[in-house]
Structure 1
Amino acid sequence: MTETPAKALSFPEFAALVSCVMAMTALGIDAMLPALPEIGRSLRVDNANHLQWVVAIFFFGHGLGQLIFGILSDWLGRKRMLLIGIGLFAVLMAATALVSTLPALLTLRLLQGVCAASASVVTRAVVRDLYSGAQMARVMSTSYVMFLAVPVLAPSLGQLILLVLPWPAIFLAIAVLAAAVCAWMWLRLPETHPPERRQRPNLRRLISVALFVLTQPVSVVYTLAVACMLSTMLAYVSLMPQIFHDVFAKPQWLAPVFAVCALGMAAGSVLNATLVEKLGVRRMSHTALVVFIIVTFIHMVWAFTGQETLISFVVLQGLTMTAMTLCTANFNALSMEPTGAVAGTAASLQGVFTAVVGSCLGGFVGQHWTGDIALLPLGACLCGALAFACILVGDRKRLFG
């Protein structure tokens, strides 16, 4: 493979390409959400809560895959591993159109998550190769603007496809889009990790990097915080079909409401990209975390007292997602800050932890669904409080610095 000089692309094209690659993960989850009830009927799933596994196992595989692709990207280069990961992701999405049982679907979803991990961990390493500190956080936030357009559009895309075609067509459409992004990468993506900086994977080095990361308090506490935020996202995504079917009895409103909440996430990214260099990464993220806890607590009390309506859900959940985005983008940047030349392996170790712990916590919340919408903000509030406790322990001296 020909090595392309780093920064061969203009910044707008680089941000657009990175965003489209990162969007593969969100597309693989969000586009099929409106189809979950139909998938359940088609595959004869008796317990609706079991359909949450279609989302949760993707996240779980995503965590495992980051260990593989992060390590290999430090050895074989970022571009090569992205092409392999997204290429296999497209093939596995196409294969989903052929499944006839829930176990088969879950197996493919696990493998899709593994391959989609390349879009997360390797692109983070690409950005870390070129940027650091507040500038890195700004680049990540800028790319998230396009990345977050996917949750706005993907459920509507899924619903539109369901109007004329059965649910397997959604997975075929994702396969086509992934193949197009793969072609764009092959033609235009620069290699940001030159051969002279690469290292072969070995167990001793993996243990060494793991020990290095574990001895960096900043890396540890913000990796834990990212896991907590991810668990709230997973619970939200998993429960949305059931919330609109069981509570509001308006499944047709899932995509529009999902889009409005996603716009809150996009607004959070724009706000972060605008202010992070002026106010500082910690001040932005820690203030946002306090807001997140307050909003989710208010939402929890509001729902427990039986006051929840579709309008209140949209407003409070939209504010929750905005605050979560301000936290997550900066927490990711802070967790990567001390990693330096081992960014790929460090990002993979952090990614494994955040995805596995996040999927387990989020799945635990989702499996307690009994029809009470208060479960969602309750789980989010507890996870936010846990994230804040971690930061107080490991980074309290610079809490708003």
Structure 2
Amino acid sequence: MPHSPVSPARAQAVPFAEFVALIALLMALTALSIDIMLVALPDIVRSYGVTGANDRQLVVTAYMLGFATGQPFHGPLSDRFGRKPVLAVGLVIFAIGSLCAAVAPSFATMLAARALQGFGAAAPRIVAIAIVRDRFVGREMARVMSFAMMIFIIVPVIAPALGEGILHLGAWPWIFGVLFLAAVTAFAWSMLRLTETRPAEDRMPLSGTALGHAFGKVVGNRVTLGYTVAMGFMFGGLLSYVGSAQQIFVDVYELGDLFPLAFGSIAAVMALASLTNARLVGRLGMRRVSHTALLAQVAACAVVAVLGFPEQPPLIALGAFMSVIFFCFGLIAPNFNAMAMEPLGHVAGMGSSFIGFYTTAAGAFVGWLIGQSFDGTVRPLTIGFACLGVLALLTVLATERGKLMQPHHGP
């Protein structure tokens, strides 16, 4: 049976639909900051005279490193000072980073500004998850996260096309102007409408003892730790695709201006999966849905392995493979996140920070490794997905002591 909401703040909170939309916007800032850039990567590196074939990926990597670095700070700070103040500061930092990137005099400076952007964007991502955990637990949290993912996944669908439209109107710095406006919108909406979900009496001091106790509670929970590690592998696959998608679709398959359509079509599959998960999770449970999806992803990779990991399969075959991968991802991610967060009610900020930091850092590193292996074919990407899927499955098996799709009992 679904769990009931647990926060007394619920009665004073914004309506459910608006709450989901706001959470989706806060979480979508990162997807927007990455995907709107993809069509502009060649122009950015060309304007700075950067000649390395894979150096364009650093525009994504620098952002993700800043994003990962910020996450250990924002969660504990939100446990201490409340969710809204930390959210506000993060959005301001993101806006400043956007403006700095738009006027950066060198490629190195632009990468530093991207890292600052990522550091600021970590706050809305971490705080949004903590707010959801403040209000919901278990299957209901997974359902809320699924609806939020369904909305914010629309961003990858439209972001490349939006970036393309901006480039038709002006130069690539204008893209950072759009990101600045997105930060302003998120700041105004959240400050005016969001209810503080961390009561003053529940706030945790920032002493070493309190932080150490909270951190120990997070990493000492087998379910939290196991599903966090598994999510790191899953996000590694996602980020390896995002980092190399422009090269694959434009350089390998020569899609040119059709790149945003191809990228968006595959991303839209995750939105469908999120809607499916929201409908299924209350009836079937988080483990049954996510474990089945993980097995399906590994099976799809096994088919590609049997075929010898082709260097350049037909575009429709690659699209079908990626659609299966991302449909499974849409069924896995919200459930893995909800299961990792479920035991951490009183230390939701610390928990969200740890989970977010690990999954982002691990995902960025693995994604960078696979992305830098790009050799003009899709083979490194498909091999990467296969290896990461198997590693995630082994991690889940260890976490669940070899029993998949079973309700969880005990610590």
- Relative to the length of structure 1, the TM-score reads 0.96
Aligned to 1:43: 48
| TM-aligned CA deviation for residue 299 of structure 1 | 3.8
CA contact (8 A) 1:241 1:251 kept: no
| The 10-residue stretch of structure 1 (181-190 or 243-252) with the greater mean CA deviation from structure 2 | 243-252
CA contact (8 A) 1:282 1:398 kept: no
- Partner of residue 139 from structure 1, selected from 128, 132, 144: 144
CA contact (8 A) 2:218 2:350 kept: no
| TM-aligned CA deviation for residue 345 of structure 1 | 0.9
1:160 corresponds to which letter in structure 2? G
* Per-residue Cα deviation, 1:217-241 (whole angstroms, up to 9, x for no partner): 1011100011011101110000011
Between the aligned partners of 1:300 and 1:241, the Cα distance in structure 2 is 24
CA contact (8 A) 2:311 2:379 kept: no
- Trace 1:321-400 onto structure 2 (pairs within 5 A): 321-396=326-401, 398-400=403-405
2:18 corresponds to which letter in structure 1? E
Q: Which runs of 5+ in 2 are unaligned?
A: 1-7, 407-411
Distance verdict in 2 for CA 1:397–1:340, change over 3 Å: farther
Between the aligned partners of 1:148 and 1:305, the Cα distance in structure 2 is 29
User: How many equivalent pairs are there?
Assistant: 398
Aligned to 1:99: 104
| TM-aligned CA deviation for residue 304 of structure 1 | 3.0
- Relative to the length of structure 2, the TM-score reads 0.94
Between the aligned partners of 2:308 and 2:161, the Cα distance in structure 1 is 27
| TM-aligned CA deviation for residue 5 of structure 1 | 4.8
Between the aligned partners of 2:14 and 2:257, the Cα distance in structure 1 is 41
CA contact (8 A) 2:95 2:180 kept: yes
The yes-or-no answer on 1:233 pairing with 2:224 is no
CA contact (8 A) 1:268 1:325 kept: yes
Distance verdict in 2 for CA 1:32–1:57, change over 3 Å: same
| TM-aligned CA deviation for residue 246 of structure 1 | 2.2
CA contact (8 A) 2:309 2:383 kept: no
Percent of paired sites with the same residue: 38
SS of 1:396's equivalent in the other structure is coil
- Partner of residue 154 from structure 1, selected from 156, 159, 162: 159
Between the aligned partners of 2:89 and 2:28, the Cα distance in structure 1 is 16
| TM-aligned CA deviation for residue 359 of structure 1 | 0.8
Aligned to 1:182: 187
CA contact (8 A) 1:297 1:377 kept: no
CA contact (8 A) 2:149 2:271 kept: yes
Between the aligned partners of 1:291 and 1:213, the Cα distance in structure 2 is 29
Aligned to 2:223: 218
| The 10-residue stretch of structure 1 (189-198 or 301-310) with the greater mean CA deviation from structure 2 | 301-310
- Trace 1:2-401 onto structure 2 (pairs within 5 A): 5-6=9-10, 7-299=12-304, 302=307, 304-306=309-311, 308-396=313-401, 398-401=403-406
| The 10-residue stretch of structure 1 (352-361 or 200-209) with the greater mean CA deviation from structure 2 | 200-209
Between the aligned partners of 2:169 and 2:332, the Cα distance in structure 1 is 39
* Per-residue Cα deviation, 1:113-145 (whole angstroms, up to 9, x for no partner): 111111211100000000000011001111111
1:126 corresponds to which letter in structure 2? I
Between the aligned partners of 1:229 and 1:384, the Cα distance in structure 2 is 7
* Per-residue Cα deviation, 1:361-389 (whole angstroms, up to 9, x for no partner): 11111111111211111101111110111
CA contact (8 A) 1:219 1:338 kept: yes
| TM-aligned CA deviation for residue 298 of structure 1 | 2.7
1:123 corresponds to which letter in structure 2? A
1:185 corresponds to which letter in structure 2? S
Between the aligned partners of 1:294 and 1:70, the Cα distance in structure 2 is 36
Aligned to 2:4: none
| TM-aligned CA deviation for residue 349 of structure 1 | 1.5
CA RMSD between the two structures: 1.5
2:52 corresponds to which letter in structure 1? N
CA contact (8 A) 1:56 1:234 kept: no
2:278 corresponds to which letter in structure 1? A
* Per-residue Cα deviation, 1:162-217 (whole angstroms, up to 9, x for no partner): 11211111111111122112111111011011111111212222222222222211
Between the aligned partners of 2:369 and 2:311, the Cα distance in structure 1 is 24
CA contact (8 A) 2:67 2:118 kept: yes
Between the aligned partners of 1:393 and 1:258, the Cα distance in structure 2 is 34
Between the aligned partners of 2:77 and 2:154, the Cα distance in structure 1 is 29
| The 10-residue stretch of structure 1 (87-96 or 303-312) with the greater mean CA deviation from structure 2 | 303-312
CA contact (8 A) 1:156 1:256 kept: yes
